[in-house]
Amino acid sequence: MSHNSKLLDQFRKFFCLTFLCSSLLVQSQIERVEPPNWWVGFEQDTLQLLVKGKSIGEYVPSVQQEGVRLIRASRADSPNYLFLDLVIAKNVQPGTFDIDFEPKRGRTRSFTYELKPRAQKPEDFKGFDSSDVVYLITPDRFANGNSGNDVVEGTLETVLARNDDYGRHGGDIRGIIDHLDYIDTMGFTAIWSCPLLINDMPKSSYHGYAMTDFYQVDPRFGSLEDYIELSDKAEDRGIKLIMDQVANHCGSKHWWMDDLPFEDWLNFQEDYKQGLPLKTSNHRRTVNQDAYASDYDRKLMSAGWFVSAMPDLNQRNPFMAKYIIQNSIWWVETLKLGGIRQDTYPYPDKGFMAKWAGAIMREYPNFNIVGEEWSDNPLLVGYWQDGAKNSDGYRSYLPTTMDFPIQTTFAEAFKESEKEWGKGLVKLYNALANDFYYTTPNSIMLFGDNHDMDRIHTQMGEEVALTQMAMAFVLTTPRIPQVYYGTEILMQNTAKPGDHGLIRTDFPGGWVEDTVNAFTGEGLTETQKKMQHFMRKLLNFRKTSTAIHTGKTKHFAPHDGLYVLFRYDADQIVMLILNKNEASTALDLGRYAEMGIEGKTFTDVVSGTSQTLGSVLQLDGKGPTLLVHQKR
């Protein structure tokens, strides 16, 4: 080989090596772009991209794409972030385009970004409402459909321990998919799963509320494709999917914690960086409404960390605010959601929460969001519902809140003696009378229990008749009912009241080694089977009952251990009788003459037997009776 040929060969090798290194640098320079994709045709035409990569803040970005304009590139305090504001024209076509990043010296980098077509029209995103019943699932504890993802190497918690109340048990998305038939035939029309995004924390990671990546499904639950499949297959059965989201905090092992974009990305961030004691929230949620609240208490409530393992996100930082709003919209669009449940609603900055809810409801006018305000005071709960006439002028844009005020009356209403004035069922009657305060009572979510409190059967002292009465009330009142998985088979946590791990017990039959299978009924006690039958009858009746969905409500003050409530419209009269008397009781129907029920034929929803009502109705004993008269 000639000297010139050797030089040419060396040059070629050098060029190839340089090109390879440059290509690898392109890949390593940009670690992530979020949102990872977007869609065409939104009402809001701006999009802000978070770009993360080593020294990416030193690059100058540009976009050469018809219909897409880069209007601003914002550097962060960390040199490893850029925030790009794009305007996307209404008529831009779906497809990909390149974002170029030009350094001060060296080769320009490029990243290909995708704009997808929307799967359905904005108005077709139908949110859950009072015609639905929501089934709440703790996914790690419901069913293990794929044992291959029980332990995922590289995650911080890699032990599967079904005997540990606070360990991972292996339930996953596939387990929910596999049992959609059960959920459907029971009569549930919506599923709210506790968070399915990655919670890569060293312990108690099963619950999902300390997210470590807002765009990644936890691989121990499955994949994004699994999540989409769940949504699609649920939709095929007419079941809506509600996503549990968290705008207030993340997990302390979130990917950005090692390199925070801004000095104010978190609340009390300086304390965290200096290793000082963390300021946790005082949990005084009333400061959001209290005209006399101190600035000290207001700040500690909103900015304090929920717990030390959950950094508090600063929604007053405009980049953080945009990030959270876009993340919510990304998931609505990706999963074709039927609703969002927003955790710890009063804890983030309340001005931001109004912007967040407003942004979503503007894009999806028929959508629904329910916010968690754990208070037994209806004044506080009603404050957060859109349309409330708040004295401070605050408008939340939040359609739905949770009815903790009624829920907290159940134990007293059903367990207290009726012999003392103001005790027992009258407390339930008075609680429902507070509906005058709410803008839309039938848009409030009512429940007997959830994943954070004692199960309803434990609350009722494991007395089946009381549990049935509580659930009959939940399913009949003008509300959106939510039922916690396992309520239908009387699951309880009486051995350890208040213990979250036990409250989130495994659903029997969700694991191949289970000897009891509640999905098939195998191994259930006769009492459990009767409760499951009771719930199935009520749920499936409610599924088509127009009177319960949208009808009027009238209730009569409790007397002699009896509380009677009616739901009615042009087609139906539904009569719910809650009876706390142990012995057979004759109910004088003259009290309810204004409802026009005498001489009409009513059918018992559970037993299916019919009778024409006269002046007296004989009740067998303690428990609920649900009767329906079909007018036409």
Q: pLDDT tens digits for 506-528?
A: 999 999 999 999 999 999 999 99
Give the CA diameter of the chain: 117
The DSSP symbol for 290 reads: -
Same domain, yes or no, for 216 and 105?
no
User: Is it the case that residue 39 has pLDDT exceeding 70?
Assistant: yes
The per-residue DSSP string of 16-69 comes to: HHHHHHHHHHHHHH--EEESS-EES--SS-EEEEEEE-TTGGGSEEEE-BTTEE
Same domain, yes or no, for 373 and 289?
yes
3-class SS of residue 122: helix
Round to whole Å and give the CA distance between 30 and 474: 51
CA distances from 480 to 56, 256, 339, 431, 602 (A): 48, 37, 13, 16, 25
Residue 274 is part of which domain span? Answer: 124-544
Spatial strand order in the sheet of 552-559: 552-559, 562-568, 572-579, 623-630, 601-604, 610-612
**Residue 244 designated active-site:** no
The domain that holds 596 is classified in CATH as 2.60.40.1180
pLDDT for the residue numbered 23: 39
- The one catalytic residue in 343, 349, 449, 506 is 343
Output the average pLDDT for the chain.
Answer: 95
CA angle at 403 for the pair 407 and 394, rounded to the nearest 5°: 150
Same domain, yes or no, for 602 and 569?
yes
| Closest C-alpha among 160, 273, 274, 133 to residue 220 | 160
| Closest C-alpha among 171, 199, 109, 135 to residue 483 | 135
The domain that holds 350 is classified in CATH as 3.20.20.80
Would you say 629 and 606 are in contact if contact means Cβ atoms under 8 Å apart? no
User: Is it the case that residue 8 has pLDDT exceeding 80?
Assistant: no
Q: Which amino acid, one-letter code, is at 476?
A: T
**Residue 462 designated active-site:** no
Same domain, yes or no, for 338 and 276?
yes
Same domain, yes or no, for 285 and 426?
yes
Tell me the average pLDDT across 443-458: 98
Same domain, yes or no, for 496 and 586?
no
Round to whole Å and give the CA distance between 301 and 441: 28
Would you say 289 and 380 are in contact if contact means Cβ atoms under 8 Å apart? yes
Residue given tokens 């509300």 in the structure block: 479
User: Is it the case that residue 67 has pLDDT exceeding 90?
Assistant: yes
Residues contacting 463, CB < 8 A, separation 6+: none
Round to whole Å and give the CA distance between 611 and 616: 12
User: Is it the case that residue 243 has pLDDT exceeding 90?
Assistant: yes
- The one catalytic residue in 157, 312, 372, 418 is 372
| Closest C-alpha among 345, 313, 309, 305 to residue 205 | 309
Name the pLDDT band for 123 (thresholds 50, 70, 90).
Answer: very high
User: Is it the case that residue 488 has pLDDT exceeding 60?
Assistant: yes
| Closest C-alpha among 365, 159, 343 to residue 248 | 343
Round to whole Å and give the CA distance between 269 and 23: 36
Q: Identify the domain boundary among 85, 118, 151.
A: 118
Q: Give the tokens for residue 450.
A: 């959830």
User: Is it the case that residue 15 has pLDDT exceeding 80?
Assistant: no
Round to whole Å and give the CA distance between 269 and 317: 12
Tell me the average pLDDT across 582-600: 97
Round to whole Å and give the CA distance between 137 and 161: 19
Same domain, yes or no, for 163 and 289?
yes
Residues contacting 373, CB < 8 A, separation 6+: 285, 345, 346, 380, 381, 384, 401, 402, 404
pLDDT for the residue numbered 632: 80
Same domain, yes or no, for 104 and 215?
no
pLDDT for the residue numbered 104: 84
Would you say 110 and 100 are in contact if contact means Cβ atoms under 8 Å apart? yes
Same domain, yes or no, for 220 and 284?
yes
CA pseudo-torsion sign 136, 142, 148, 152: positive
Same domain, yes or no, for 159 and 50?
no
| Closest C-alpha among 467, 224, 447, 250 to residue 343 | 250
Please state the domain count of the chain.
3
Q: Give the tokens for residue 187.
A: 């009569």
Would you say 549 and 570 are in contact if contact means Cβ atoms under 8 Å apart? no
The domain that holds 8 is classified in CATH as 2.60.40.10
| Closest C-alpha among 609, 611, 605, 610 to residue 624 | 605
pLDDT for the residue numbered 343: 98
> Which tens digits make up the pLDDT trace of 20-30?
344 334 444 79
pLDDT for the residue numbered 16: 45
Tell me the average pLDDT across 262-288: 96
464-476 vs 526-544: helix crossing angle, rounded to 10: 10
CA pseudo-torsion sign 163, 169, 175, 181: positive
| Closest C-alpha among 285, 189, 186 to residue 240 | 189
> Which tens digits make up the pLDDT trace of 136-164?
999 999 999 999 999 999 999 999 999 99
| Closest C-alpha among 320, 279, 323 to residue 302 | 279
Q: Identify the domain boundary among 100, 118, 136.
A: 118
> Which tens digits make up the pLDDT trace of 387-419?
999 999 999 999 999 999 999 999 999 999 999
Same domain, yes or no, for 383 and 464?
yes
Name the pLDDT band for 5 (thresholds 50, 70, 90).
Answer: low
> Which tens digits make up the pLDDT trace of 517-567?
999 999 999 999 999 999 999 999 999 999 999 999 999 999 999 999 999
CB atoms within 10 A of CB 124: 11
pTM of the predicted protein model = 0.94
Q: Identify the domain boundary among 118, 149, 167.
A: 118
Round to whole Å and give the CA distance between 265 and 52: 15
* % of the chain residues with pLDDT over 90: 94
Name the pLDDT band for 10 (thresholds 50, 70, 90).
Answer: low
Would you say 481 and 443 are in contact if contact means Cβ atoms under 8 Å apart? no
The DSSP symbol for 372 reads: -
Same domain, yes or no, for 558 and 536?
no
